[in-house]
Structure 1
Amino acid sequence: MNLNTVGLTAREKEIVRLIKVGKTYKVIAEQLFISERTVSKHVQNVFEKLGVSNRVELLNRLDIWESG
């Protein structure tokens, strides 16, 4: 399983990649020319789709998929 098979939108994938490299919601918002609230909503949607509840779980799930 990877990001392409879990139904994430292109924007959600982009945000996940930026989270993975350590960007804050504020920096992500500035880079993508969207509000922090919009970033937060996208992240919330990602959490729901991937069955995680925080950034640490998200990063752990991504590590498992990439190493597996």
Structure 2
Amino acid sequence: MATKDLQEKSLLPKDGVSRYGQLKPFIAVSREKWRQLVRDGKAPAPIRMGARCTVYRNADIHSWLADPVNYRAA
């Protein structure tokens, strides 16, 4: 039972938003490299929820994960 719960928690939902800390297990780059990719339009653009809260749309992250080399932010 515990293994199933762990597997369910390790999946990124299709809908909603996530913070970088929640995305970290799914993306294979450091926080600084992720920031550079976002800046260059090669990763999904963040959504600022406040002065200290930045989130990313999960649907955009799934698109990026499907083809990170050819991804271009809209």
Normalized per residue, the structure richer in helix is: 1
Question: How high is the TM-score relative to the length of structure 2?
Answer: 0.28
Normalized per residue, the structure richer in strand is: 2
Question: How high is the TM-score relative to the length of structure 1?
Answer: 0.30
Q: Rg: which structure is higher?
A: 2
